Structure 1
């Protein structure tokens, strides 16, 4: 045993204590979110059928403009648009924005729907790159295609919002498949609380492995790819626990750009989606919070689990690494732009709870956890910390991580029951356990990579290669 100076033991204990304390606080945050999510699911009314929803909302549901930006989405664009045109909703328009794609995205749309150039007046309330043309076909009165110069996802969504005429806009990814009744379900808060509701988020699920026909998920199946399977667990945890819990606490800080419904006038009030961030979806929600609280307005930003959309998850380490680093970079960019809201009494629970959660989980979380992996085991092996401290670190990292994941699956089974087969629940439970031993550590490394990119002021989305949805 090496005899170190006394101060090294004290320093090692301080470092280890900080890592363990930070981990315990994160676990406490997750447990609180889990409790609020369970309460929200417990008190929610019985899930009505699509027919009941139609009878209830058909005459009062406001028109919706569905905004779908597309960049190099040739493989999935037709299936996605087919799903959008088949939505069960009284009055809606699908606006697809071809954001200067370099592949055959626009050509596939024009050929498949026999589109022709059209003229349509639209305002320029939000900044976007020049529009090269609008395309439509009277045989598809609910479809409008915008062709514009490349400007990025935020720029494309702003163009779609400018052209939209409906009071509500639903922003999605072009590779997203909405369930047929998704709009009927996601619009409910706008109908029940029309004066206060400004934004509503729905659930996103992984389409990998599912049987898909004409843009619809015919049969939900678990992915065979292990990375995609881990992401199924992640998405359940992110939406069913975190966002539902935060929504119940009225501190929801993000509505995914892959599926969210917004009041168009409110989006215009805050200047639309920002161009100088890759986390434009989170940043828009934070801007809405800031705008409403600065003006002391009573408002609601909500997540509800029943509306579901499906998306294709990355199945390769390189693509997934780029995605997670980009997500981390987007969170940090949003935090930096609005850091004056953190712990600011002017912003109430958003400043104290919402931003505290962002600071703890998104800003500090990956760095502290990776520091723990790098420092704690060597410190124990060198005898600088006790075995009890080492066990406490392992418990925080693994035991509680497994608990949170499995508890989320329990919520899924007890309350929503979307898993039809017991073997699927068993497989997800196994995945929820083993993801903590390797995959979680990789995820934090990718997030630290996002930190490094943020520090170097890297811009752009990077490469996102898709295989296309599985067809029968």
Structure 2
């Protein structure tokens, strides 16, 4: 008896077994995924319902609303930075402050911030929890009580963030780049998980490309398409 038919039969049997194993694996995998999805539907529905403006309204009136420090670091153009600050100050969240780190030259852009937001220098009454590089000055705004500006030399993003954390007054902190815009309800939605009675370490939001976006009002950012090649 020739060995070729035997080897062919063995190979066919092995392929058949492998096919059954692969098909069984994918059936079990997709069944498990479908089961998890179905079991998560009630929680997904609850989370979706809580993002509705009507569901957020009672939260906005709550006295237990956590206080949040919005820390802004990085570098951007003057118009973009002032627009970002105005949208942050106009967030629909009653208990937050905005801490901006100006890490550049002592003149120039800082003068623009002083003129736009009527800043005045305050004593350095800051509890330094994390050592940082030198700070030239601290400023508050006469027009916006929520705004706090730190003027320091450029020593890196991490050092800027540490300086802002030292100056933050509130226990919850949102860190963001100066070139990022937030939707008016973003802070309320980000803080919602902390009010659900479950342990939460951190939250994050969805980031979308904003090339060509511009602020038309303190609480409105219009998305746009860049007019030049990326």
Offset at 1:60? 1.7
Offset at 1:52? 3.1
Offset at 1:70? 3.4
Find the aligned partners of 2:103 and 2:97 in 1 and give their Cα distance. 19
Q: Counterpart in 2 of 1:140?
A: 144
Structure 1 gap segments, 5+ residues each: 1-27, 227-314, 317-472
Q: Counterpart in 2 of 1:68?
A: 72
Offset at 1:92? 0.6
What SS does structure 2 have at the residue aligned with 1:87?
Answer: coil
Gap change, CA 1:105 and 1:72, over 3 Å in 2 = farther
Q: Counterpart in 2 of 1:206?
A: 209
1:20-75 CA-partner distances (Å, limit 9, x unpaired): xxxxxxxx9xx99xx69x94688242344335313125322110001001335424
1:64-109 CA-partner distances (Å, limit 9, x unpaired): 0010013354241100000000001121110101112588432221
Higher mean alpha-carbon deviation, 142-151 vs 117-126, is at: 117-126
What SS does structure 1 have at the residue aligned with 2:132?
Answer: coil
Structure 1 position 92 matched with structure 2 position 87 = no
Gap change, CA 1:44 and 1:127, over 3 Å in 2 = farther
Gap change, CA 1:215 and 1:104, over 3 Å in 2 = farther
Q: Counterpart in 1 of 2:57?
A: 54
1:197 to 197, 200, 203: 200
1:229-308 alignment to 2 at 5 Å?
none
Offset at 1:130? 1.2
1:122-143 CA-partner distances (Å, limit 9, x unpaired): 2211132111101112321000
1:78 to 72, 78, 82: 82
Gap change, CA 1:152 and 1:79, over 3 Å in 2 = same
What SS does structure 2 have at the residue aligned with 1:131?
Answer: coil
Find the aligned partners of 2:164 and 2:115 in 1 and give their Cα distance. 21
1:107 to 111, 114, 123: 111
Based on CA coordinates, which of the two structures has the bigger radius of gyration? 2
* 8 Å Cα contact 1:72-1:103 kept in structure 2: no
Gap change, CA 1:128 and 1:205, over 3 Å in 2 = same
Offset at 1:158? 0.8
* 8 Å Cα contact 2:76-2:178 kept in structure 1: no
* 8 Å Cα contact 2:100-2:150 kept in structure 1: yes
* 8 Å Cα contact 2:181-2:221 kept in structure 1: no
Structure 1 position 174 matched with structure 2 position 163 = no
* 8 Å Cα contact 1:123-1:162 kept in structure 2: yes
Q: Which has the higher contact order (CA 8 A, sep 6+)?
A: 2
1:251-283 CA-partner distances (Å, limit 9, x unpaired): xxxxxxxxxxxxxxxxxxxxxxxxxxxxxxxxx
1:32-51 alignment to 2 at 5 Å?
39=37, 43-45=44-46, 46-47=48-49, 48-51=51-54
* 8 Å Cα contact 1:177-1:216 kept in structure 2: no
More helix by share: 1
Find the aligned partners of 1:96 and 1:51 in 2 and give their Cα distance. 32
Gap change, CA 1:157 and 1:167, over 3 Å in 2 = same
Gap change, CA 1:89 and 1:170, over 3 Å in 2 = same
* 8 Å Cα contact 2:73-2:160 kept in structure 1: yes
Q: Counterpart in 2 of 1:389?
A: none
Gap change, CA 1:193 and 1:104, over 3 Å in 2 = farther
- How many residues align structurally? 194
- TM-score under structure 1 normalisation? 0.37
1:125 to 123, 129, 136: 129
Gap change, CA 1:218 and 1:125, over 3 Å in 2 = closer
Offset at 1:113? 0.8
2:154 to 147, 150, 156: 150
What SS does structure 2 have at the residue aligned with 1:157?
Answer: helix
Q: Counterpart in 2 of 1:359?
A: none
